[in-house]
Structure 1
């Protein structure tokens, strides 16, 4: 009699080893997918915030103070646009930069740039700086 142990008992050690190897690969893939989803969501949110900031600034130019509906927050400045975007943002730690070309008068252009450093929960991935810029024409 070569081996008196039943086949099931002989397989117990190899099953635990296989499970460990498969579980490690599975968990790595799962967390990578979650991190990828977080990255895509954050990138989309940054783009949306840049568009919202440019839209907000385009209707609050130099002449917008004459309109009763916008007189309280017109004309738009770097500070008012940053405050508006921070209030809209589902993401913390964003940087807002606004530039007007050539100035804040109707017909000019306003560009809003949002920057955020995406930090991964899984330490295998490096931090990535996300930037999005939106440009609109000032209407009022």
Structure 2
């Protein structure tokens, strides 16, 4: 059986070359949006993991550098030195969007607790969110 021009799908497709281009553009746009969303999600997870690491390292610094720390360990920890340590570990993040809040509820002597909260304002590339606040806290007992 011979197909006529109206029944042959290959000939019908050749008569509409613009349709293929439009379909490709729509699919490519959706694919690019999906790729950028996945990249933004990965950047957000990286930022969260980084601030969690910064909080742990800041508390570790405070635990080792309490009020009775000796010279080989280094100077005693205070709010400014904790913020400097945390910012030093914030590799890959914009430190202008990073805030460090430390509290010493019962003082900075041996056996007391130190709390550290690191907050970061994440700015994704995609337009789904303007900014996304990330936060992580850590606390420990001062050893030295």
Instruction: State the TM-score, normalized to the length of structure 1.
Output: 0.88
Partner Cα distance (1:2, 1:116) in 2 = 64
Structure 2, unaligned runs of 5 or more: none
Query: Aligned residue for 2:23?
Result: 18
Q: What are the Cα deviations for residues 31-54 of structure 1, in whole angstroms up to 9, with x where unaligned? A: 000000000000000101000000
Give 3-state SS (helix, strand or coil) of 1:14's partner. helix
The residue that corresponds to 1:89 in the other structure is 90
Q: 1:59 aligns with which of 64, 68, 83?
A: 64
- 1:137 corresponds, among 135, 141, 144, to 141
Deviation of the 1:8 alpha carbon = 5.2
| 30, 36, 48: which one aligns with 2:53 | 48
TM-score normalized by structure 2? 0.86
State the match for 1:69 in structure 2.
72
Equivalent in the alignment of 2:117: 113
Instruction: Spell out, residue by residue over 1:95-125, the C-alpha distance to the aligned partner (whole angstroms, 9 max, x if none).
Output: 1111012110111010111011001111232
How large is the RMSD of aligned CA atoms in angstroms? 1.7
Q: What is the CA distance between 1:2 and its match in structure 2?
A: 6.9
Q: Is the 8 A contact 2:67 2:109 kept in 1?
A: yes
How far off is 1:88 after superposition? 1.8
Q: Which stretches in structure 1 are left out of the alignment for 5+ residues?
A: none
Offset of residue 13 of structure 1 = 1.4
What is the CA-CA distance between 1:85 and the residue it aligns to?
1.4
Instruction: Give SS of 2:114's match.
Output: strand
Pairs aligned (count): 134
